Amino acid sequence: MSADDEVLALPPAFSGQRLDWRDLPRHVREQIAGLCGAQVSAEMGATSGFTPGFAAVLELADGRGVFVKAVSPEQNPSSPDLARAEIRSAAALPPQVPAPRLQWSHDDGDWVLLGFDVVHGRSPELPWRLDDLGAVLDAVGDLAEAEPLDGHGLPRTDDQLAEDFTGWRRLAAGPGDDVDALSRTLGEVGSWVQDSLERLVLLEQDALPALAGDALVHGDLRADNVMIDSDHNRVWLIDWPHASVGAPWLDLAFMLPSVTLQGGGDPAALFRSHRLSIGVTDDELRAGLAGLAGYFAWSSLQPAPLGIPNLRAFQGAQAGATLRWLRDL
């Protein structure tokens, strides 16, 4: 199978279900127009990202544009809390971080609305081109040098992931059928997982200390969460609901399984050739990857969340890529 075939076989990083402007309740449309300060004349919907709801660039009658997200529990019960977390994250980002500026937000307890500056660029071409990947990894390196603004409300990464990074323990404590099902979906690395389950449990328990640090962590970097503005030699990092404060190498390491799935190359070589890997021990990396792989593996076996039909298959693919890296480390 070629790299192009592998990318085509990867489940799309898109919920598949988005609201159009006309699908929003009238009072929500009126609230957005009021927050924008002008009537909406046109929309261009977003075509990536897993969160369902409304996400589009709105063209306003006065010629301005704004990128708007609008979510309620009806699309997905977790989406409003993620939008609230993104509002918190936006207030914590220092100016040097290449993220769209949040212009306004509104939360009525049901609908959460966010309006961002429109930024220009394109998604990375897949399979990854070397120049695109180099630019994005440079931006990830620069992000690792940033710290959130004073008075921020971001959680520590180890606290935020304490519950998520228990996947191997849950699998070990559950019925053996779960491990068998996981092994079948993982292909050639599945038998290694069955033989290594006790070791994976131990590594996972070492993950949280390895995540600690003072750097600003995006927490969910993939090709669909970056935009490349080639005209201005700039990379935008978008969608920040999972931001936290932790070890500076986490975004690089946790992004690379998706990169290798999308034709970007060997994650081990990419990691060790990057400046962020300096000082990171193999033991720390193994622990972090074990926690991440356990999260993906456990999650991939759960029912699909409301409005996000592609998520579990994408998580299963990321589990496999992370485990292959971990097995060979």
What pTM did the predictor assign? 0.93
| Strand residues in the chain grouped as ranges (E) | 40-45, 54-60, 65-71, 102-107, 112-116, 215-217, 226-229, 234-237, 244-246
130-327, which class in CATH?
alpha beta
Cα–Cα distance list, 106 to 31, 53, 112, 264 (Å): 9, 15, 6, 39
Q: Note down pLDDT in tens along the chain; length 329 residues.
A: 444 445 445 666 555 568 999 999 999 999 999 999 999 999 987 766 677 899 999 999 999 999 999 999 999 999 999 999 999 999 999 999 999 999 999 999 999 999 999 999 999 999 999 999 999 999 999 999 999 999 999 999 999 999 999 999 999 998 888 999 999 999 899 999 999 999 999 999 999 999 999 999 999 999 999 999 988 899 999 999 999 999 999 999 999 999 999 999 999 999 999 999 999 999 999 999 999 999 999 999 999 998 888 899 999 999 999 999 999 99
Sign of CA dihedral 290, 315, 69, 117: positive
- CB within 8 Å of 81: residues ≥ 6 apart: none
Q: Please, are residues 203 and 193 in contact by the beta-carbon 8 Å criterion? A: no
Report the alpha-carbon distance of residue 183 to residue 171 in Å, rounded: 12
Cα–Cα distance list, 14 to 48, 52, 281, 325 (Å): 5, 9, 34, 25
∠265-267-271 over CA atoms, to 5°?
A: 120
Whether the bond between 127 and the residue before it is cis, its omega within 30 degrees of 0, is: yes
* CATH number assigned to the domain covering 3-116: 3.30.200.20
Report the alpha-carbon distance of residue 20 to residue 16 in Å, rounded: 13
Res 176: pLDDT: 81
Going from N- to C-terminal start, the domains of the chain cover: 3-116, 130-327
The answer to whether domain 3-116 and domain 130-327 are alike in fold is: no
Residues comprising the chain, all counted: 329
Res 2: pLDDT: 47
Res 45: pLDDT: 78
Cα–Cα distance list, 198 to 61, 202, 290 (Å): 61, 6, 12
